[in-house]
């Protein structure tokens, strides 16, 4: 079952830590967002595989924007 990972803050995608196909564990950093000069990690909500990355580094995102789709 696919799981969608969304932005928890409005900011800019500072760094994408994973690639499509990567196996991640719950709590692993997926993306680092920058907001108001602070770096905020977006962590994997569960263990799984990165299926799709919907953003690029430098892209502005709003709270609740879709960042990554993960599978089992």
17-38, pLDDT tens digit by residue?
999 999 999 999 999 999 999 9
> So what CATH class is 3-71?
mainly beta
Above pLDDT 90, what percent of the chain? 96
Alpha-carbon distance of 37 to 11, in angstroms, equals: 10
Per-residue confidence (pLDDT) for residue 72, from 0 to 100? 86
**How far apart are the C-alpha atoms of 43 and 26, rounded to whole Å?**
7
Sorted by where each begins, the domain ranges of the chain are: 3-71
Q: How far apart are CA 22 and CA 28, in angstroms?
A: 11
* pTM of the entire predicted model: 0.93
What's the 3-state SS for 37-72? CEEEEEECCCCEEEEEECCCCCCEECCCCEEEEEEC
């Amino acid at each position: 079952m696919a799981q969608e990972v969304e932005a928890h803050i409005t900011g800019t995608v500072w760094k994408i830590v994973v690639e499509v196909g990567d196996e991640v564990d719950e709590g692993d950093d997926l993306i680092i967002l920058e907001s108001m000069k602070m770096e905020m990690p977006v962590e994997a909500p569960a263990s799984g595989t990165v299926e799709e990355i919907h953003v690029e580094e430098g892209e502005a995102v709003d709270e609740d924007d879709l960042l990554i789709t993960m599978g089992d």
